[in-house]
Structure 1
Amino acid sequence: MDDFAESVGKEIGEGLRAYFVEPHLYEQAMACVEEKLRGKLPFSKLTVLHFHAFGGTGHAIYRAAAAVELMILSADIIDDLQDKDNSLTAWSRMSPEMVLNIAFGLTLVSQQMMLTGDFPMEVVHKAVQFLNTQTLAAINGQTTDLLNDIGSEEDYLRMVKQKSAGFVVAACMIGTLLATGEWNERVRDYAEELGIADQIKNDIRDLLDWERSDFKNRKKTLSTLYLLQFIAEEDQWIADYFEGRLKAEEISHRREEFERAIERTGTFLYTSVRMRTHGYNYLQLVDKLEIDAHWKNRIIALSE
């Protein structure tokens, strides 16, 4: 499966050519897709890897993996459009009207590609139903995120399970379903742990990126919730800003103070430990899989 990216990319291109027949729509959508293809295609990789790990054979998986990647790309595009926190993407340079059309179109192309694959229809129906279920859960999670309606770590983890971790579960489970025809609870469990660990890792990175910090965006994450719980009196300005009592320009010069507060409260250490805990849970669950050692090791390597 080492050449999976080329095969998935080919399927994505063919899907867009088949269904985006208006030239401008196709051109703009391809610009979004080409940006995606320059990356590592993590979700389609999970789908292909699990398909082979659970005994699947043949090339039909690449079309299904392309469908998974397009569904998640459409969600990423909409997420960026709503959050307005990523100005570096191809879709950030397009009109919102065109972006919405592309995102909605990619969702339907994804469905069409999954439904017209070469797997038995009863298995395809299970895969499509599961992808739709996870996408709907992600919409609920994204709504919670947009409302910033997170008051505790439990709320945060619930949102992550619905949203980012939910898509990791979808990618892994669809590959497994298409190989075996069956739902696998253990795959769901370890995929969720992997997705949570990855999201916490992203939150740590975003907290320390002052220009795009979750703190400056007043976003409630595991890191910011912990920080706000343990700030000292001298750092009360952090809570004042987060609660809207200070404006961004009033704290723009306080980056070093903020970094010292992170160190004093142990925020970085705490969230790093939580990330590693979920990573450890992932490894423990994967280790119990009864599959060929080659594929088990490749699944284990995803946590590196």
Structure 2
Amino acid sequence: MEYFMGNVMSEFQTQIDRYFRVKLLHEAAQAAINMKCSESLLFGKMTLLHYRMFGGEDSGIYKAAAAVEMMILALDIIDDIQDEDHADMPWCQMPKEIALNLALGFLSLSQEVLMDSDMPDEHARSIAALFNNQLLAAINGQTLDLLNEMETEEDYLIMVRQKSAALLVCACMTGVILATGSADQRVAEYAEEIGIAAQIKNDYRDLLNWEGKNDFIRRKRTLPLLFLLAEIGENDRWIAEYFAGGLEPEDVLHRFAEFGEAVERTGTQLYTSVRMRSHYYRFLDVINRMELDSKWRDLIIEAAM
């Protein structure tokens, strides 16, 4: 694992030097991969961990992990452009048409890197099909997210399963297929649970982050906000009024302390924690019932936390 970051960064660099020939596009790609590699690269790490856990030993796995991260980077760029948030990201500081070309380039590169790897042809075809299936699921999930019409917990879970969870399933299953030649539905099951738990955790964080991206100010229907809106009392009706469009952001931005008190008073934090942990415990239940080397199982549990 200690060579992971260097190998993935090297693959990124090789590919953008080879395919992004226009100076402006190459500079944009360089800024994007520098930002990407300053983060955890969780999806690529999950690809590598599952490959090793299922007995894979070839160093070519780093190319597949890079391909996964290229796909995730492309979707992150598109997601940020559509949501108009994360203004500090380099792709949000360039013209949208350039950022879209950058995203399309990384999306194409993810497939190119896979096809250019040394894996058996049948494995490459299986993983390419996996990429396409999970990408299409994520596009459907992102569309549901943009429509912002979720009314119930089940509506929210349908969206998250297709969006965040589908991409984590793709990352984990890529490693499994590379190692064994076939998919493992138990991995798909627990990867989905990890993805849902992580999204719930992120949504609660974004509920209280008034310094940047805030889901309440953006009137974004997430699980914590749906629960909060259902539980508020008469003294907190301004929250529902704002969410319904009856108030403007400048009418509520100064009420952060009141909002935090409402979140605590309604039990939103406790509810969110319970829902997040229920999915995490389902993941633990599945992985602990599998006959796996404890070293790799423990590393995956650690990465999922």
Aligned to 1:263: 264
Q: Secondary structure at the match of 1:39?
A: coil
Q: Give the corresponding residue for 2:279.
A: 278
In 1, Cα distance between the equivalents of 2:145 and 2:114? 29
Query: Which residue of the partner structure matches residue 102 of structure 1?
Result: 102
- Partners of 2:42 and 2:303 within 8 A in 1: no
Deviation by residue 1:196-244 (Cα, 9 ceiling, x = unmatched) = 1111110111001123321111000000000000110111111110010
**Residues 6-41 of structure 1: CA deviation (Å, up to 9, x unaligned):** 111111111111211222211211111111011121
Give yes or no for contact 1:134–1:166 (8 Å, CA) kept in 2. Answer: yes
Aligned length in residues: 304
Is 2:219 the counterpart of 1:230?
Answer: no
In 1, Cα distance between equivalents of 2:24 and 2:40: 26
Match for residue 53 of structure 1? 53
- CA deviation after TM superposition for structure 1 residue 172, in Å: 0.3
Q: Distance in 2 between matches of 1:202 and 1:290?
A: 31
Residue 138 of structure 1 aligns with which residue? 138
Aligned Cα RMSD in Å? 0.9
Task: Give the structure 2 partner of residue 93 of structure 1.
Answer: 93
Secondary structure of 1:210's counterpart equals coil
2:217 maps to a residue whose letter is K
In the alignment, the residues of structure 1 paired with residue 24 and residue 264 of structure 2 have an alpha-carbon distance, to the nearest angstrom, of: 50
Corresponding residue of 2:289: 288
Q: Deviations over 1:266-301 (max 9, x none)?
A: 001100111111111111111112121211111121
**In 2: Cα distance, 1:56 partner to 1:23 partner:** 38
Q: Deviations over 1:113-153 (max 9, x none)?
A: 01111001111111011011111111111111111021111
Gaps of 5+ in 1: none
Instruction: Give the superposition deviation at 1:255.
Output: 1.1
Unmatched 5+ residue regions in structure 2? none
1:40 maps to 40
In 2, Cα distance between the equivalents of 1:100 and 1:298?
35
1:122-201 alignment to 2 at 5 Å? 122-201=122-201
Which ranges of 4 or more aligned residues in structure 1 deviate by more than 6 Å? none
CA contact (8 A) 2:77 2:103 kept: yes
TM-score (norm 2): 0.98
Query: How far apart in 1 are the matches of 2:55 and 2:200?
Result: 32
TM-score using structure 1 length: 0.98
Question: Counterpart of 2:247 in 1: which secondary structure?
Answer: coil
* Matched-pair contact (CA < 8 Å) for 1:286–1:299: no
Matched residue, 1:77: 77
User: Do residues 241 (structure 1) and 242 (structure 2) align?
Assistant: yes
Alpha-carbon separation, structure 1, partners of 2:72 and 2:304: 20
Q: Is the 8 A contact 2:152 2:226 kept in 1?
A: yes
Q: Which has the higher mean CA deviation after the structures are superposed, 194-203 or 206-215? A: 206-215
- Asked whether the 8 Å contact 1:289–1:296 carries over to 2, the reply is no
